[in-house]
Every structure is written in structure tokens, then in C-alpha cells.
Amino acid sequence: MGMLNLILANISSKPVTRLYPFEIRETCKEAKGRIIFNSENCILCGICQKKCPADAITVTKADKIWELNVFRCIMCTECVNGCPKNCITISCERAKTGAKEYIKILVPKVDTPKTDSPKKASSK
Amino acid sequence: MTTIIPFGPQHPVFPEPISLKLEIDNDVVVGALPSLGYVHRGLEKFIDTKDYIQTMYICERICGICSGIHGITYSRAIEKLFNIEVPERAQYLRVINSELCRIHSHLLWLGLFADGFGFESLFYECWKYREGILDVLEKFTGSRVIHSMSKVGGASRDLNDEQIDHIQKALDTLEPQVKNIEKVFVNNYTVKKRCVGLGVMSKQLAYEAGTAGPTLRGSGNAIDIRDTPDYDIYRDLGFKTAVGKDGDCYSRTKVRIDEIFESIKLVRNALSKLPNGEISVPVKGSPTGEAIMRAEQPRGEVVYYVKGNGTKNLERLKVRTPTFANIPSLLLMLPGVKLADVPIIVLTIDPCVSCTER
Ligand code: SF4
Ligand code: SF4
């Protein structure tokens, strides 16, 4: 009896599913979609690298490279909260799967202003 | 003469690999032997390389469905180690998160269970309703499944008025929907035929076998960690333990449906009483000493043991999960049932193998 009602209600209502590739679900603004890195203020202090539980961020001070391996990132937002310069933010938009720029490095090279660092040895 | 047949690790009703060796005599199960270890990931050892704050994220990944409560329990264990009092608002947020997790876990289970006895449209129906809760969780915590809402020292996300409104609306729509599927699970002829009197565990036996969660309560034992002095906040919110009486599959199903309503009530009460204030306190230093923390997951009681030795890394983390406690009782339920009923009985303990093996 109960099930019959459910079935009748379902027959007479619109489908609840979407035609996925054509109709994409909107995410809410609170959703954790992907990491956005703004290189302007970064001082390459490496706090984000230390805080990251998934070892997804690599900061190489000598070469001024801030690198994010998107496949390792677990969206915990530790780096967002930890960064003293607020240069990491989180966007509610999902990363496009397979798009070239998201596969390995989000921001390949940072030409950081800030301080002298003309040394080039020791990059480990 | 008996025959031994393997049941699993891959089986249509199992979401995760668990293998049972069933001793069969003419279609009737005489004995069962479990074999675990297919998805062992060594997480307890892995925490050696992570500090105690990062370990929260590893604990959350022990299991996808109870992830929120794993994280909360770990955080509480570390807070006990540091002797920290978490702000009241954070405690309420944790209750809201845990109960929403419980609702989505139970709806998921009801769907799998319906699928287990071949009622596919009911399965779709349950999962359809679960989507609404996942949307709520996404708006609250930012993710649909692994929430990372808790952190050592409080909560990492707060609720604003708009979100509270969204949760309340979602619960208002969910309640009649769950009532609809409750009617089917409780009254439907087919469902009753498959579940009533199957896999019976007496009250005493369930208690002695160390059963946990809805499996224990389905047998008539009113034991729930949320109703202990550890969890004052649940008592403030008017928590009542859901108990079944027959100890069969039907009774366990009813307990889970009752728990969904109980959780809806708890979330509503928590939202209406949500105090103002901070959501977290800073935690500094390195932990020393030992602590044990228990919590009620959708599947039953989880126990966290943490031991710190004054360094950033914990010396030992030990988790005892509900499915692990329920496997002995499963083995007690199986003898005497028909082979065709084994999947249903296995499903009623709500096995979560990734929790069990870590
Ligand atoms: S992103 Fe922030 S935390 Fe990371 S290196 Fe740059 S300034 Fe430091
Ligand atoms: S969100 Fe978490 S996992 Fe991702 S890069 Fe930041 S700290 Fe690492």
C-alpha cells in the first residue's frame, strides 16, 4: 500500500536526476571546490607546506616555486587558515576534471617580490 | 555431510569486501568463519608521520560514511588529553554534524538493505531522500561526504542564519519522506516476509557477545553512548534511546528508522538552542599521557585510544570500530538460517569493512 503510493507519486512527478553533462548542478557558495593561489603576497615561508596533511604543497624557496599537486589535495583548508599572508583561498567552483592546468601544478611559477633571495644553491 | 562455500569478498549485496566461509548442510548454514584484511591500509601506523592536528584528517578517512563522527571523536580524545573545554557553540555544531551524518548513513543503509532483498524502487527512494541531507551537509561543512568540520579545539565551520534556515527546511521536507518509507519498511508484506524472525539475537546473548549500536538496541538493550554522562549535551537536547524488542532483522530495521526521527529531533533542538560565542579555542603544545574517548556512530560505539609522548606526533592511536564488535554477533546469528537469508542478516549489522580494517 505504502509503496504503491510512492510509485504513483513518482510516475506523476518530474525526474529527480539530471542529464549530467548537459545540465550541471550548481554548487553552493560554501562548498569547497578548489584551491586558488594568489602569488602576489606569497613570501614563500613554507607554512602551508608544513601544515598540509596530504603533502600536496611543495614550496621551493630557492627557485621561488609554489606547487600544488591537485590530486593529493584533500580539501582540508589547513593551508587556507595557516597562510599568514592570506594568499590561498578556496573557491566553490569545482575544478574541471582533466583540464590541463589542474592536473599537476596550479600555479607553476611565482615571481615573488619580497626580499632579496639571489642565492641559488641548496634546493634539496 | 557439510560443505564449505565462500561467501564474498565480492558479492552483489556487499558494498565492501568481507569474506565469510560458510559451512552448509543442505542449504542451511551450520557455521561461519570470517576472513578480514582485504582493504587494510595501515592508517594507525601512518599517523607516525603526521602530527596530532593532521591526524584528525587521517581519522576522518578511516571511513567515508561515519567520517564526521570519527573526526569528532578523535578531536575529543585529544582535547581530553590536553584537558581543554571546547566552547559550547562548537559542541552544538558537532552534535548537528553527527546527527546529520547519522541520518544520511541510516538512509544509505535502508537503501542498501532494500536492494539486498530485491526491492529496487525502495532502494532508489531511500537514496533520493539522502541527497537532500547531503546537500545540507555540503552547505554546512563544504563537502558532501568527508566533512572536516571538526578540528582539535572546536569546529572549523560556523552556521549562519541562512544555513540554519536551509537545514530546517530540509528537515521539514525529510520528515514526511521518511514517514513514507517507514510505512513500506514496517507494513509491506514482502519486507516482513523477508525480515521477521530472521537472524534472532536474544537480549542476553547480544549483550554478552559485545554487540554495538542498532544491532544491540534491536535486541532490547537500551544502551547508547549518547545517553551517558560523557555526553551531557545530548541529555539537554532531550535524547531518547530507540530500542527494538524482537532482536530480528525487522526489529533492527525499525530501530534505525526510529533513530532517523530521533536525529531529526536532536538537530532541530540543537538549532533552536544554538548558543552564541566562539567556535574554537587554540590548542598549543605537544600531548603527553593517554586518553580514551567513546562516541556513538551510526553503526555503534567507536572507541579511540590516543597516547602522546611529548612530541608533535602521537605515539599510538588505536581505534575500535563498531563493525569489529558486531562480527562475533553476526557469526552467532548465522547458524540455522537458509543460505538465501545470509545476505540480509549480514546487511542488518550494517557492516563497514573499511572501518574495521583501517
Ligand atoms: S602561500 Fe602563504 S603560507 Fe604558503 S608559502 Fe606563501 S605565504 Fe607562506
Ligand atoms: S587544502 Fe589541505 S590538502 Fe589541500 S593543499 Fe591545502 S592543506 Fe593541503
Question: Does the annotation list B195 as a binding residue?
Answer: no
Contact B57 A54 (CB under 8 A): yes
Q: How far is the CA of A31 from the centre of ligand 1 (A)?
A: 22
| Amino acid identity for residue A77 in this structure | T
Q: Please determine, for residue B152, whether its predicted confidence score (pLDDT) is greater than 50.
A: yes
Question: Does the annotation list B126 as a binding residue?
Answer: no
pLDDT, one tens digit per residue, over B63-101 is 888 888 899 999 989 988 888 888 888 889 988 998 999
Chain B residues in contact with A2 by the CB 8 A cut-off are 180-181, 183-184, 187-188
Model pLDDT, residue A120: 39
Query: How many residue contacts between A and B have a Cβ separation below 8 Å?
Result: 62
For A12-37, what is the mean pLDDT?
Answer: 83
Going by pLDDT thresholds of 50, 70 and 90, the confidence category of residue B41 is confident
Model pLDDT, residue A64: 76
Q: How far is the CA of A66 from the centre of ligand 1 (A)?
A: 8
Question: Does the annotation list B319 as a binding residue?
Answer: yes
For B38-65, what is the mean pLDDT?
Answer: 86
pLDDT, one tens digit per residue, over B253-287 is 889 999 999 999 989 998 888 888 888 888 888 88
Chain A residues in contact with B138 by the CB 8 A cut-off are 27-28, 30-31
Model pLDDT, residue A1: 52
Mutate to test the pocket of ligand 1, among A49, A78, A88, A111 (most ligand atoms within 8 A of CB): A88
pLDDT, one tens digit per residue, over A97-124 is 655 555 444 444 555 454 444 443 443 3
pLDDT, one tens digit per residue, over B293-318 is 888 888 888 899 998 888 888 888 88
For B22-39, what is the mean pLDDT?
Answer: 85
Q: How far apart are CA B326 and CA B36, in angstroms?
A: 13
Q: How far is the CA of A88 from the centre of ligand 2 (A)?
A: 10
Query: Cα separations (Å) of B259 from B13, B212, B243?
Result: 23, 15, 9
Q: How far apart are CA B44 and CA B316, in angstroms?
A: 8
Contact B142 A75 (CB under 8 A): yes
Contact B50 A1 (CB under 8 A): no
Model pLDDT, residue A123: 39
Question: Does the annotation list B249 as a binding residue?
Answer: no
Nearest CA in chain A to B135: A28
Model pLDDT, residue A119: 41
Model pLDDT, residue A121: 40
**Minimum-distance ligand to the CA of A47?**
1
Model pLDDT, residue A105: 47
For A41-46, what is the mean pLDDT?
Answer: 82
Model pLDDT, residue B103: 92
pLDDT, one tens digit per residue, over B197-248 is 888 888 888 888 888 888 888 888 888 888 887 777 887 888 888 888 888 8
Contact A3 B121 (CB under 8 A): yes
Please indicate if any CB of chain B lies within 8 Å of the CB of A11: no
Domain boundaries B40-321, corresponding CATH code: 1.10.645.10
Q: How far apart are CA B222 and CA B248, in angstroms?
A: 16
Contact A78 B58 (CB under 8 A): no
Residue ranges of domains in chain B = 40-321
Please indicate if any CB of chain B lies within 8 Å of the CB of A70: no
Of the candidates B94, B105, B112, B164, which has an alpha carbon nearest to the alpha carbon of residue B133?
A: B105
Going by pLDDT thresholds of 50, 70 and 90, the confidence category of residue B51 is confident
Q: How far apart are CA A76 and CA A54, in angstroms?
A: 9
Q: Please determine, for residue A63, whether its predicted confidence score (pLDDT) is greater than 80.
A: no
Q: How far apart are CA B214 and CA B297, in angstroms?
A: 10
Contacts of B148 (CB under 8 A, 6+ apart): A75, A76, A77, B56, B57, B60, B71, B141, B142, B156
